[in-house]
Amino acid sequence: MASWSYSSMISFFIIMILPSFPSYCSRRFLDDNQPCPGHVDYSGSFPPSYFDTEDHHDRGDFENYLINPTARLLSFERRKLEQEDEGTAIVVLNVDDFGAKGNGKDDTEAFKNAWEKACSSKRTTVLVVPQKKYLVKPIKLEGPCKSNSLTIRIQGTIEASNKCSDYNEYGRHWLLFDSVQDLLIEGGGTLDGNGGVWWKRSCKIKKSHPCNNKAPTALTFYKCENLVVRDLKIQNAQQIQVSFQRCKKVGASSLTVTAPRHSPNTDGIHVTHTQDIQISNSVIGTGDDCISIVSGSQRVWITNITCGPGHGISIGSLGSRHSEAHVSDIIVDRVKFFETSNGVRIKTWQGGSGSAKNIEFLNIQMNNVHNPIIIDQNYGDQKNPCKEECSAVQVKDIFYENITGTSATKVAIKFNCSRRFKCEGVVLKDVDIRRHHEKNKAQALCENVKLTDIGFVAPLCPNAHKGRNNTRPSVQQPHHKKIRNPIN
């Protein structure tokens, strides 16, 4: 035994451990906020969650890859053994080897050089950011890269410059990944946006300031594909914390995303023009939406999220400035809201066009939440209500199931839909929301909505009709089976 090589020991470990893992086969799996202004039918079935391992044994490889660190390690070791057999080694790079000091001085150039080296490697490559604090100015990390398996392992802290003049080159971005494929970012480290200086400039903080504060997004992924971001802390962003723009096949999990309650426009995770994305196992508390999903986004799965403080989980806003917007096939499952200003929200502007459809909100717990369930087709950011327009974003096929808890507002369910384009196909099933610390019952306000109630529903909309258990939309699942593991 003493003569066994490292490769032999790892091979033995894999052979002994792999049979104990369950076999998985999945059934399920949205432009930046302004700083101020494959088909599956689930009819009659409860959407499975991969967190409920007792009842559902058929799960997707991608889901398992995201949530199972041991399988993730074995995947890496298998790749390592394969490369040893082929006589090729994994390339491990360290930003310190490129001149980074982690002593409070500018390390931007070292990070650029380290990225260029990693991106140009044809082998499986790991770029390590050690346990130090690195000051990095705005930086664009651009692909495509030559490696089909690139990992950035952030173990320390990357801190943003607090000088607004440093952001002139890349405008509204701090860390920007552009057109990178097969990328994994992990490591347990921290990205600190150092956003306090930007918050003070916002007209939402200082009313005398003009509303043209183009604060940057902390972490942006643009046109990236086969992307996994996990096990990181993102905090105190200048504006939006994490943004996925025009990406495909994305997994974001085990993230802690935080900013103070008063910080303006600090959305936790912002999704725009992105398809096939899963956001899971994360804790988000910010000064704006915990998660915002906007136009061009399809097949989005959000599961096992803790949200608060913040503005809840929002689909929209959609259709501003008479624009056309489309979002569809969205699942929000197993979310706990704590004292947020909204719970699950769909918001659209009058005068827009397009649709928000095939959306499910499942297994939601509200804890002293303002506006727990809300659809607002008359959304606006000004004090006076907007005038009625001749067009609107169509909201249809929206399903709410197993939503419970307490409301901080008298109105717990609010459907403020367009008179010209009513909300259609809205279903409430097993919903029980009560007033927080009050004996009075919560109320529902329901205007211009075609609504069906199933099971016990409180508060009730007076115009709802009772439906059958098989009344629900068909939501198309993300194409996650096509996602390649970055290092497998």
**Which is nearest to 189 in space by CA: 125, 256, 136, 126?**
256
Q: How confident is the model at residue 479 (pLDDT cuts 50, 70, 90)?
A: low
For 89-260, CATH number?
A: 2.160.20.10
- Residue 49: how many other CB atoms lie within 10 Å: 21
pLDDT digits (tens, 9 = 90+) for 328-376: 999 999 999 999 999 999 999 988 999 999 999 999 999 999 999 999 9
Q: Are 343 and 372 in contact (CB under 8 A)?
A: yes
Q: Region 37-58: what's the mean pLDDT?
A: 30
- Give the lowest-confidence range in 44-58, 150-164, 203-217, 323-337: 44-58
Q: How confident is the model at residue 136 (pLDDT cuts 50, 70, 90)?
A: very high
| Percent of the chain with pLDDT strictly greater than 90 | 65
Q: How confident is the model at residue 475 (pLDDT cuts 50, 70, 90)?
A: low
3-state secondary structure of 19: helix
Distances (CA, A) of 10 to 2, 82, 126, 237: 14, 12, 19, 41
The average confidence (pLDDT) of the chain is 82
Q: Region 459-469: what's the mean pLDDT?
A: 80
271: amino acid identity, one letter: V
Residues in the chain: 488
> Angle CA(454)–CA(363)–CA(440) in degrees, nearest 5?
70
pLDDT the model gives residue 469 = 60
Rounded Cα distance, 299 and 358, in Å: 10
pLDDT digits (tens, 9 = 90+) for 234-280: 999 999 999 999 999 999 999 999 999 999 999 999 999 999 999 99
Q: For residue 390, is pLDDT > 80?
A: no
Rounded Cα distance, 263 and 414, in Å: 26
162: amino acid identity, one letter: N
At what angle are helices 6-17 and 69-85 packed, to 10 degrees? Answer: 140
**Which is nearest to 305 in space by CA: 347, 361, 259, 264?**
361
Q: For residue 213, is pLDDT > 70?
A: no
Domains in the chain: boundaries: 23-55+289-483, 89-260
| Total-model pTM | 0.81
pLDDT digits (tens, 9 = 90+) for 282-292: 999 999 999 99
pLDDT the model gives residue 258 = 98
Q: For residue 7, is pLDDT > 60?
A: no
**Which is nearest to 450 in space by CA: 442, 438, 461, 458?**
461
Q: For residue 436, is pLDDT > 90?
A: no
Q: For residue 21, is pLDDT > 50?
A: no
- Give the lowest-confidence range in 40-44, 92-96, 278-282, 357-361: 40-44
Rounded Cα distance, 144 and 103, in Å: 31
3-state secondary structure of 326: strand
- Give the lowest-confidence range in 36-40, 137-141, 216-220, 233-237: 36-40
Structure tokens at 38: 């494959």
pLDDT the model gives residue 462 = 85
Q: For residue 66, is pLDDT > 50?
A: no
> b or e along 209-223 (b: 16 or more beta carbons within 10 Å of the residue's beta carbon)?
eeeebbbbbbbbbbb
pLDDT the model gives residue 472 = 57
Q: Are 213 and 186 in contact (CB under 8 A)?
A: no
Structure tokens at 375: 């659809």
Give the catalytic positions in this structure: 311
pLDDT the model gives residue 89 = 83
Q: For residue 386, is pLDDT > 70?
A: no
Q: For residue 321, is pLDDT > 70?
A: yes
pLDDT the model gives residue 380 = 73
Q: For residue 69, is pLDDT > 80?
A: no
Distances (CA, A) of 161 to 34, 385, 437: 22, 40, 44
